[in-house]
């Protein structure tokens, strides 16, 4: 079932949002909930469930689809022909933005920074290139100047029409509406008996948008579920305070569009953050994440990536052991949809900056094979 603006739970709750905020249907909602019985028996968790965000789109899914329904609709509303955005080379956000934007005749320019190599990085680069994305390598010192240069260059080339700037990870109050809606969707699934109300909901903490939207959405939808964010990016950035501030900015954004949105407050104390599963840093795989991901794949038939999902699962299990809450209801937010990979054609490879071609030439990092898909998710 594909929801329309008339059936999106968030718009049903606050009709003024539908009137004031652009939205385009991209995903297939609601994503199903799966009781992970086999994995639960293996790890002693009888009530662990999985929210199947990998099924948000049959070809190019994952958790980014939700925010893109608002971001790309805003691009259409403005008549924007080009998007400029930022992230790492193998970003889930960039390749999915490029793929879905191309289907709306919108081009993507991506300012990207280095990351450890992996098969999924090659796959995401390839999908982005095939969608027509232009990749520009940068580092922490040059990423903002290069982004500004591209905005001005494209504005001049496109007759003074400014491209749409999308923040790293596609995270903004507008994009967070996708996961506010996801919490309303979850509340409907709880009421219909598809799962008990979760005590804890586990998400990766990268650019923070998924956690912020869900934390706000759970409060608005009347769920008592506590969001647990597992740090997968930079510890200094991935804090409960930052998530709470983003949630409050999202609530204020909603209120400006519809004054019926109540004045709920998301505080740092409303969330928990697990920072012990990160390992050596962003996108560096860990042995613990690899081991849990293999067990999860063998027991449930679901492939988890090593940058986000594997560490989130490891962090969730650490949290459960530390608090001794194995008898509670747990929901793992499965954000990863593996994209098929084949060799990059020479014609596409030649369009890449030489600093990015190395991702197709250099070896991948250790443990990479532990995160590859072996069974196709149903």
Q: What are phi and psi of 224, to 5 degrees?
A: -90, 5
Count of CB atoms situated within 10 Å of the CB of 366: 12
Say whether both 33 and 147 belong to one domain.
no
Say whether both 51 and 187 belong to one domain.
yes
* Residue 372, domain member (yes or no): no
Domain end among 112, 146, 170: 170
Per-residue pLDDT at 343: 87
**Angstrom distance (rounded) from CA 138 to CA 343:** 25
Say whether both 148 and 98 belong to one domain.
yes
Per-residue pLDDT at 375: 43
In sequence order, the 6+-apart residues with CB closer than 8 A to the CB of 75 are 83, 101, 104, 106, 164
**Nearest residue to 243 via CA among 302, 174, 173:** 173
* Residue 1, domain member (yes or no): no
What the block records as the tokens of 61 is 């899914």
Give the residue carrying structure tokens 């579920």.
Answer: 225
Say whether both 275 and 139 belong to one domain.
no
Say whether both 315 and 289 belong to one domain.
yes
56 has which bridge partners? none
Per-residue pLDDT at 328: 98
Here the CATH number for the domain that contains residue 226 is 3.40.50.1100
Domain that includes residue 109, residue range: 64-170
Per-residue pLDDT at 290: 98
List the Cα angle 247/251/255 in 5-degree steps.
Answer: 170
Say whether both 185 and 302 belong to one domain.
yes
Per-residue pLDDT at 116: 98
Say whether both 111 and 124 belong to one domain.
yes
* Residue 349, domain member (yes or no): no
Q: What is the mean pLDDT of each run of 10 residues along the chain (378 residues)?
A: 67 95 96 98 98 98 98 96 96 97 98 97 96 96 94 87 93 98 98 98 98 98 98 97 98 98 97 98 98 97 97 98 98 97 89 95 96 60
* Residue 2, domain member (yes or no): no
* Residue 252, domain member (yes or no): yes
Say whether both 33 and 103 belong to one domain.
no
What the block records as the tokens of 285 is 């795989």
Per-residue pLDDT at 107: 97
Per-residue pLDDT at 24: 97
* Residue 315, domain member (yes or no): yes
Q: What are phi and psi of 148, to 5 degrees?
A: -65, -40
* Residue 330, domain member (yes or no): yes
Say whether both 162 and 233 belong to one domain.
no
Say whether both 131 and 247 belong to one domain.
no
Domain end among 137, 170, 203: 170
* Residue 297, domain member (yes or no): yes
Domain end among 149, 170, 191: 170
pTM of the predicted model as reported, rounded to 2 decimal places: 0.96
Say whether both 228 and 280 belong to one domain.
yes
How many domains does the chain contain in total?
2
Say whether both 30 and 76 belong to one domain.
no
**Angstrom distance (rounded) from CA 60 to CA 127:** 9
């Amino acid at each position: 079932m594909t929801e329309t603006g008339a059936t999106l739970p968030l718009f049903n709750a606050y009709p003024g949002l539908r009137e004031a905020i652009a939205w385009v249907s991209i995903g297939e909602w609601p994503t199903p909930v799966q009781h992970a019985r086999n994995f639960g028996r293996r790890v002693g968790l009888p009530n662990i469930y999985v929210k199947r965000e990998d099924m948000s789109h049959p070809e190019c899914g994952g958790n980014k689809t939700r925010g893109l329904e608002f971001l790309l609709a805003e691009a259409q509303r403005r008549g924007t022909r080009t998007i400029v955005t930022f992230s790492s080379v193998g970003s889930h956000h960039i390749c999915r933005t490029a793929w879905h934007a191309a289907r709306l005749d919108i081009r993507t320019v991506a300012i990207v920074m280095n990351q450890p190599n992996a098969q999924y990085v090659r796959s995401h680069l390839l999908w982005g290139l095939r969608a027509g994305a232009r990749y520009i390598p940068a580092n922490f010192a040059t990423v903002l100047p290069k982004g500004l240069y591209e905005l001005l260059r494209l504005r001049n080339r496109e007759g003074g029409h400014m491209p749409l700037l999308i923040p790293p990870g596609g995270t903004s109050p507008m994009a967070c509406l996708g996961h506010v809606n996801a919490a309303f969707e979850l509340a409907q699934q709880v009421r219909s008996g598809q799962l008990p109300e979760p005590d804890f909901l586990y998400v990766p903490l990268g650019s923070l948008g998924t956690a912020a939207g869900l934390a706000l959405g759970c409060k608005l939808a009347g769920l008592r579920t506590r969001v647990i964010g597992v740090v997968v990016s930079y510890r200094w950035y991935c804090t409960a305070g930052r998530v709470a501030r983003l949630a409050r900015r999202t609530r204020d954004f909603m209120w400006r569009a519809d004054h019926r949105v109540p004045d709920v407050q998301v505080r740092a104390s409303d969330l928990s953050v697990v920072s012990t599963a990160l390992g050596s840093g962003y996108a560096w795989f860990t042995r613990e994440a690899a081991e849990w991901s293999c067990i999860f794949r063998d027991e449930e038939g679901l492939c988890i990536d090593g940058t986000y999902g594997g560490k989130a699962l490891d962090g969730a299990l650490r949290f459960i052991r530390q608090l001794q809450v194995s008898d509670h209801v747990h929901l793992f937010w499965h954000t990863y949809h593996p994209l098929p990979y084949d060799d990059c054609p020479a014609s596409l490879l030649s369009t890449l900056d030489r600093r990015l071609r190395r991702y197709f030439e250099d070896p991948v990092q250790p443990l990479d094979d532990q995160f590859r898909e072996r069974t196709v998710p149903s």
